[in-house]
Each structure stands twice: as structure tokens, then as C-alpha cells.
Amino acid sequence: MTFWREHLALTARALFALVAVIALGVADVEHVSASWGFVGAGEPAPVPESWLRETTQTARRQLRGAGTEDNSRRLAIVYLVTDLQRVDRDRPSLLRASITLNKQNLFPTTPCSVYIFTWKQQIQLLTEGLADVGRWSNVAVLPLANESWVAPAMAGSSDMWHEHHTMDYRLMGDWRLGFMPEFVRKMGHRYLLQFDDDSFILKPVGLNLVQLFDNKGYLLAAKKIRPDPLIVTWGLPELVRYYLTTHKVVPTQLFEFCEPNNIHGVYSTLDAESLGAIPAADLTALQELGLKQRGGWNRTILHGNCVMYSLDWWFSPKVHRFVQLCRATGGSFTYRWNEQGVIAMLWQIFLKPEQFYPFEFDYKHRLTKAQDAYDMAAAPSVVEEH
């Protein structure tokens, strides 16, 4: 009897210790989860409200207090201009020409609000360059929030980065994936047009793009579709394959861009020449992994200089989760997928062909002189850029 009493006492103490360990473990997990910013059941952490509140208040003041109900029928056009000191081009003049041509060719049929983001210390320089354009009632020049301009935790050191692009260029992609759509939705818009300061609509669009999307059920539009270099899409197909498998998603179009045309074609093709100047040891490791040198995803992307999408679609659970997965890996920064590689995968995974609209207006990107844009817009015909 004494033996059993001692045995039961030891068992009770062991059980109590186990419960205590579990409780401490749960508490630790909760602590860690909170420190990582997880929200709810696997939902990504939202953009901090304080960033949005200040920026949206500033925007509303500049836009003469336009309400969110009005904005639901207006297209948001967002520019990001961080490098005003380039010696090879006058960025404020290019931006001024871009907005002026939008006024001529887009605003007459599509009500728009224009949001221009730049560094706080550059706002005066930019507004001086914009002249009267910066004072239009539908144009707001806004400061970048420092908290929204931070490299992802998994970005790694610069020796891991693919290609030559600067940190600011890489941060642009993450900012467009994270802060920008959150801000535009907070302003009450349903559609966002992502535009570069050296992007130009040269002839009248002739359509209300918001109504077109509503009437036709379009969720995404772009002007330029073409393959991206291997080095700036590296690893993206592998992440997509992980996502499809874990989230049990059958893509609508992705396999058409892969060889073979099934899940086994979703990979990055190992091409040493296309990978560029990566360390020899890294290339050797990739070769030893036995990666395939033919087939795979063909890297067709939508160029980010002129892209429009539905915010309801962007923030739908599976779409938004994929975006946040790409950001969390650091790959959009480290390997310079930027937003255009990620958006291309959204297009190919989630959209049916009839939900995508290829913009048909005359357009030019990457001009270095504003006068060239005005001259091309005034010409009777232009060379279409594909």
C-alpha cells in the first residue's frame, strides 16, 4: 500500500510539472507570437494604424476634404519618387509631364485622385518642380513614413542580394506590396493605378476605368507584359509551389506559363549565364542540387510602371496571404522580385483570363526628358510600346 501511495504521489507531481511546462510553453508561444506581430488565426499583421492615420489626414487636407464615399468612384493614382538628385534627368519635370498628360488623356473620363509620396525633406523641392500641378485639387504630395520604409527581417546582408539595384529600389517593391494598398483602401478607393514618374499616357483613354472594371468584372490591368530576367525571379516559383501545396490551390493560368504544364513545371531554371555574377561557390551548390536546366516557369510578368487592380481582390484572404508570404520570406527584396513578380503570380494563380484587362491606350515609359513626352503626345501617331 505504501508503494502505491508513493507511486501515485510521484505521478501527480509529474503531471503537475507537465501541466506547468505546457502552460509556460503556451505563454512563451503567445509572447513570441506577439513579438512577431501575428494577429488572430494566422492573419498577417496590419500596417500600423498610426502610419495610416497621419498620412490619410494629410492627404484629405490637401484634396480639399474629399470624402471616402466620393473616392469609391475615383481611381487612385500613386507615384513614389525618392531620387530627385539624379544628374541624368529632371524628375520633378517628368512627374509634372506625367500628371499633365493624365489630366489631358485620363481625367476627362475617369475621376482620379493623385497621391505622390517622397521624402519629407524633398517635398519643397518636388512641389517647386511641379509648380501649378502640385496645387491641383486632386493632387496630394505626401511624406514617406519612415516606419513604412524598412527592409524585411529576412532581407539578409547585401552580399546575398541579386542584381545591382539599390536598397531604395528594393524597398520600393515592398512598399508597393505593403503600405501603398493599405493607404489607398483607407482613403476609400476601390481601385489603384500604380504609376511611375516617367510613365506617360499619350492619347485619350476614352473610358471610365472604374466603371469598366465594375461592368466587366476586371480585377487587374497592365500595359506591358514580358519575361523578366532569371536573376530577379529566382526562387519565386519554388515559393509558389509551396503555397499551392499548403493552401490547396489549383491555379487558373499558371501552368500555361510553365513547362511541363503542371505542378512539376513550377520551378526556376538553372542557367548559369542568366544568373549573372553570383559567387562561384553558390553556383556550384546549385549545380550539385541537380536543378533542371530546361523548362520551368517562363518568368512572364506585368511591368510595375503601369498596373491597376481591385483592392477588394487584393485584400481577399488567399490573395493577401500570398502577398504577405512573399514579403515575409524577404525574397521580394533580396532577389528583387519587387512587386511586379509577385503581382504576376497573383495574375497567373488567381485570375481567369476574362478578369484581366490589357490596357489599350498609347503609352510610353522611361523617357528622360519631359519635352519628349509632350512631343509624342502631340504627334498624330505614336509607336506603341509593348
Q: Give the Å distances, CA to CA, from 149 to 57, 143, 144, 274.
A: 19, 11, 8, 30
Mean pLDDT of the chain: 87
Q: How confident is the model at residue 188 (pLDDT cuts 50, 70, 90)?
A: very high
User: Which parts of 39-131 fold into alpha helices (H)?
Assistant: 49-62, 68-71, 91-105, 123-130
Residue 383 pLDDT class (50, 70, 90 cuts): low
Helices 179-186 and 167-177: crossing angle in degrees, nearest 10, is 40
Residue 251 is assigned to a structural domain of this protein: yes
Residues above pLDDT 70, as percent of the chain: 85
Query: What is the CA 231 to chain-centroid distance, rounded?
Result: 18
Q: Are 338 and 170 in contact (CB under 8 A)?
A: yes
Q: Are 203 and 257 contained in the same domain? A: no
pLDDT of residue 145: 86
**Residue at 27 is within a domain:** no
Q: What is the pTM (predicted TM-score) of this model?
A: 0.87
Do 191 and 286 lie in a common domain?
no
Residues 298 and 184 in one domain: no
Between 161 and 1, the more confident residue is 161
Q: Distance (Å, rounded) from C-alpha 98 to C-alpha 305?
A: 12
CA 126 – CA 121 distance, rounded (Å):
10
Q: Are residues 71 and 175 in the same domain?
A: yes
Whether residues 212 and 334 share a domain: the answer is no
Are residue 152 and residue 296 in the same domain, yes or no? no
Q: Is 20 within the bounds of a domain?
A: no
User: Residue 270 has what DSSP assignment?
Assistant: -
CA–CA dist 265, 295 (Å, integer): 7
Looking at the structure, do residues 244 and 181 belong to the same domain, yes or no?
A: no
**What is the tens place of the pLDDT at every residue in 245-273?**
999 999 999 999 999 999 999 999 999 88
Please indicate, yes or no, whether residues 105 and 209 belong to a single structural domain of this protein. yes
Whether residues 117 and 259 fall in one domain: no
What are 271-319's pLDDT values in tens digits?
988 887 788 899 899 999 999 999 999 999 999 999 999 999 999 999 9
In tens, the pLDDT along 4-56 reads: 444 444 444 433 333 333 333 333 333 222 223 333 334 445 677 887 889 99
Query: Tell me: the pLDDT tens digits for 316-330?
Result: 999 999 999 999 999
The pLDDT assigned to 12 comes to 42
Q: Would residue 386 count as lying in a domain?
A: no
pLDDT number for residue 55: 92
- Are residues 263 and 178 located together in one domain of the fold? no
pLDDT, tens digit (0-9, with 9 covering 90-100), for 331-364: 999 999 999 999 999 999 999 999 999 999 999 9
* Polymer length of the chain: 386
Could you tell me if 119 and 200 lie in one domain? yes
Q: Does a structural domain hold residue 363?
A: yes
Q: What is the pLDDT of residues 75-98, one digit of tens each?
A: 999 999 998 888 889 999 999 999
More confident residue, 137 or 278: 137
Q: Is 118 a domain residue?
A: yes
- In this predicted structure, what is the pLDDT of residue 158? 87
Q: Where are the beta strands (DSSP E) in the chain?
A: 75-80, 112-118, 139-143, 191-195, 199-201, 220-222, 225-227, 258-259, 296-297, 300-302, 306-310, 356-358, 363-365
Q: What are phi and psi of 363, to 5 degrees?
A: -150, 145
Please give the pLDDT value at position 260.
98
For residue 87, the enclosing domain spans 49-222+358-378
> What span, in angstroms and rounded, lies between the C-alpha atoms of 89 and 157?
30
> How many domains is the chain partitioned into structurally?
2
**Residue 273 pLDDT:** 85
160 with 209, same domain: the answer is yes
* Cell numbers that stand for 308 in this block: 491597376
CATH code for position 59: 3.90.550
- The answer to whether position 167 is within a domain reads yes
Q: Is residue 234 part of a domain?
A: yes
